Chain A
Amino acid sequence: MFELLGIPPQALLGQLLLGLINGSFYAVLSLGLAVIFGLLNIINFAHGALYMMGAFVAWMLLNYAGIGYWPALILAPLIVGVFGIVLERLMLSRLYHLDHLYGLLLTFGLALIIQGLFRNYYGISGLPYRIPDALSGGYNLGFMFLPKYRGWVVVASLVVCFGTWFMIEKTRLGAYLRAATENPVLVGAFGVNVPLMIMLTYGFGVALAGFAGVLAAPIYSVNPNMGADLIIVVFAVVVIGGMGSIMGAILTGYFLGLIEGLTRVFYPEGSAVVIFVIMAIVLLFKPEGLFGRAA
């Protein structure tokens, strides 16, 4: 016990920061999943592959077109979003009247294909992506060293998450979205173009994944498997937060990142499974998720 308390603050804070960064990715990705599930009723298993695509598009923009990090932060999510819209129009839109399972199977298959294609062309060793100059280096906070880029990831994800939350919960466009989530037929009967809204929502949800991919590119190596490794954890986050709850997805993302960080300090062997243990407990006692509405 004494030894546990004797953990130096640098180690504790360092792991908490790492947890917060992981949590930032969990939050942005689970937010995208929650937005998509809410309106489309589709469990988007391709989300991890689209996150990976975001990182790859940023890498390609840099290496093939000389376009750097900052423009890529806008362009890559747009490109991934448009790719998502094509998927939605050509394939997903045919499944809305069917059970969730079909959407999950289709997107799972798409994820495998997308990852396979990237693996085929780029291998699995990972490609480097440099931290932009403005964000290299760090701050010495006295009790720990904070790399600038990691601080930026946390800030950028917070801005995107709460911007999205604000848009959905507090604006007229968001009111359409929430209403169409509840009763798309009636919203259509009021004269709203619901299919267009669904298409753009999917595009936006996967653009969020693409954005997370660009944020991740300088931290993790750009690798075809980067999404597959992450998406399982993100699905656990979504289950814990409650499917379809926007604020739930965001808060649970950051919270579980931190829990994972703390576990890495106090019980490193458990850090890989702690989120799944929490998921199992939540499913046992509150199956609709911490922030979900009971069905």
Chain B
Amino acid sequence: MSEQRSPKPLLSVRNLNGWYGESHVLHGVDFDVNEGEVVTLLGRNGAGKTSTLLAIMGILGKRSGTVTYRGTEIINMQPRQIARLGIAICPEERGIFASLNVDENLMLPPRIADGGLSLERIFDLFPNLKERRRSQGTKLSGGEQQMLAIARILRTGAHLLLLDEPTEGLAPVIVQQIGRTIAALKKEGFTIVLVEQNFRFAASVADRHYVVDQGKVVDMIPNSDLDANIDKLHAYLGV
């Protein structure tokens, strides 16, 4: 876990500690994400993957350490300020608003910079959403809700996407579709941090994998070395 690439990473996390109330859940997380990469945080349930994303986004109640995005220190910023720098989150519970229809959900996050995807391109990636624009957000299937949760952060101009278990609880065919979408987004130039428990899915989309255990990053495996490290990874994930 010593890898440092040049030039400077887009996102750099150092000695990140985080707490839920009194409960200390992150114990010094370190990792880097380079421009244009897809990086996963792999780990067991409760390892601290989601908490890491929430801490980067400024949502976790109490946090310390260093998180820099494009060289700017963001550890003490409010979530809305962090969002305005170009980081967007797709939360684990998807966060689709029940009182908003699909269109309203899609248009909700404000544009924070140029360069977001156009609606046409978004509907190109997620044709189902186009047919259901007037439906209430939570009336969509689980897969469609996941697509909506990803789609709405693509038009804002955010550049770093934090995706929290986008495949959780979805049918294999939908998982494949989300995999293709992530590959397409990488081609479009987005940088993605993906939290996953499904490492087969992670292997199909990511450049590098950070293994999180007990609130720390304990290993980094480039995707190209995954086969050679598969036993080690099984041990980490307890599978």
Which A159-179 residues have a C-beta within 8 angstroms of B?
172, 175-176, 178-179
A193 to B83, CA, bound (A): 11
A100 to B58, CA, bound (A): 26
Contact A178 B97 (CB under 8 A): yes
A182 to B105, CA, bound (A): 12
Does B95 touch A at the CB level, under 8 Å? yes
Contact B99 A183 (CB under 8 A): no
Contact A175 B79 (CB under 8 A): no
**0/1 interface trace, chain B 124-151, chain A, CB 8 Å (1 if under):** 0000000000000000000000000000
Which A125-162 residues have a C-beta within 8 angstroms of B?
none
Once A185-B79, A189-B80 are accepted as A-B contacts, the answer to whether A179 and B97 lie under 8 Å apart by CB is: yes
Contact A192 B97 (CB under 8 A): no
Q: Which residues of A contact B109 (CB under 8 A)?
A: 190-192
Does A268 touch B at the CB level, under 8 Å? no
B156 touches which one: A172, A186, A191 (CB < 8 A)?
A: A191
Which label, helix, strand, loop or mixed, suits the secondary structure of the A interface?
Answer: helix
Q: Which residues of B contact A194 (CB under 8 A)?
A: 80
Does A71 touch B at the CB level, under 8 Å? no
A191 to B100, CA, bound (A): 18
**0/1 interface trace, chain B 56-85, chain A, CB 8 Å (1 if under):** 011100000000000000000011101110
Contact A191 B80 (CB under 8 A): yes
Does A123 touch B at the CB level, under 8 Å? no
Contact B91 A192 (CB under 8 A): no
Count of chain B residues with Cβ under 8 Å from any Cβ of A?
Answer: 25
Contact B104 A175 (CB under 8 A): yes
Does B189 touch A at the CB level, under 8 Å? no
A194 to B89, CA, bound (A): 17
Which A172-230 residues have a C-beta within 8 angstroms of B?
172, 175-176, 178-179, 181-183, 185-194
Does B112 touch A at the CB level, under 8 Å? yes
Contact A179 B100 (CB under 8 A): yes
Q: Which residues of B contact A186 (CB under 8 A)?
A: 91, 95
Does B230 touch A at the CB level, under 8 Å? no
A181 to B109, CA, bound (A): 15
Does B98 touch A at the CB level, under 8 Å? yes
Does B184 touch A at the CB level, under 8 Å? no
Contact A175 B84 (CB under 8 A): no
Q: Which residues of A contact B91 (CB under 8 A)?
A: 186
Q: Which residues of A contact B79 (CB under 8 A)?
A: 185, 188-189
Which A267-294 residues have a C-beta within 8 angstroms of B?
none
Contact B95 A183 (CB under 8 A): yes
Between A and B, 5 residue pairs with Cβ closer than 8 Å are A175-B107, A182-B97, A186-B91, A189-B59, A190-B110
Chain A residues close to B by CB (< 8 Å) = 172, 175-176, 178-179, 181-183, 185-194
Given contacts A175-B100, A189-B59, 12 further A-B contacts (CB under 8 A): A172-B104, A175-B107, A176-B108, A178-B99, A181-B99, A182-B98, A185-B59, A186-B95, A188-B80, A189-B83, A189-B89, A192-B110
5 smallest CB-CB distances across A and B, nearest first, come from A191-B83, A190-B109, A189-B79, A178-B99, A175-B104
